[in-house]
Structure 1
Amino acid sequence: MVRSLDGLVLAPVADQAPGQVGTRTRFTYHEKDGEIWAEYAGGDVVRGHLVGTRREDRLDFRYVQLKTDGTTSSGHCVSTVVELPDGRVRLEEAWQWESQAGSGTSVVEQVTEPGP
């Protein structure tokens, strides 16, 4: 199993559609006893939260976010935790909105600086 996500900061490697998370979004992860949660913000997201579970290298969580236009949205995501050759962590994600139509995949990777 890849090391704990607790205290790690991750960011998307590519921008999603406008109004969603993007390369300027930063996720700060926490983990304890199989529980995971994170706060995120940046880009079009004013504030977001996710909460769920980790079983080995699989995360299963729900997320909710407030966007700069004042709207909210929520969804479900399943991620695979991968350790990169340089020791950083990558999450390979499959997500689906629950508050609106849409689904997709994304990749977030550990960053060493807070970002923009």
Structure 2
Amino acid sequence: MARSLDGLFLAPVADQAPGQVGTRTRFAYHERNGEIWADYAGGDVVRGRLVGTREGDRLDFRYVQLGRDGTTSSGHCVSTVVELPDGRVRLEETWEWESRDGAGTSVVEQVAGTAAD
């Protein structure tokens, strides 16, 4: 199993569609006893939260977010935790909106620094 996500900051490696998570979004992860949660913000996202579980290198969580346009959205994501050769963490994600149409894949990687604006 890859190392704990607790205290790590992650960011997408590419932008998604407008109004969604993008390269300016920062996730602050926490993990304890198989539970994971994170706060996120930046870019088109004013505030977001995710909560779920971890079994081995698999994360399964729900997310909810407030966009800069005032809309709220929610969805489901399953991620695989990968440790990169340089020791950083990558999450390879498959997600789908539950509050609207849409689904896709994304990649977030560990970054230095702090939470988003």
Q: TM-score interval w.r.t. the shorter chain?
A: over 0.9
Structure 1, 36-45 or 106-115: larger mean CA deviation: 106-115
2:58 equivalent in structure 1:
58
Matched, 1:101 2:113: no
Distance in 2 of aligned mates of 1:19 and 1:76: 17
- Structure 2 runs not aligned, ≥5 long: none
| Paired AA for residue 12 in structure 2 | P
Which residue identity does 2:113 align to in structure 1?
Answer: E
Q: Deviations over 1:23-42 (max 9, x none)?
A: 00000000000000000000
Shift of 1:51: 0.1
Q: For residue 24 of structure 1, what is the aligned residue in structure 2? A: 24
Q: Residue deviations 1:8-34, cap 9 Å, x none?
A: 000000000000000000000000000
The answer as to 2:83 corresponding to 1:83 is: yes
How far off its partner does 1:113 sit?
A: 2.5
Residue of structure 2 in register with 1:47 after alignment: 47
Off by >4 Å, runs of 4+ in structure 1: none
- The SS at the match of 2:22 is coil
Structure having greater relative contact order (Cα 8 Å, sep ≥ 6)? 2
The residue aligned with 2:6 is 6
Question: Which runs of no fewer than 5 residues in structure 1 stay unpaired?
Answer: none
TM-score by length of 1: 0.98
Matched-pair identity in %? 82
Q: Secondary structure at the match of 2:75?
A: strand
Which residue identity is paired with 1:31?
E
Aligned residues: 116
Q: What one-letter code is carried by the residue in structure 1 that aligns with 2:33?
A: D
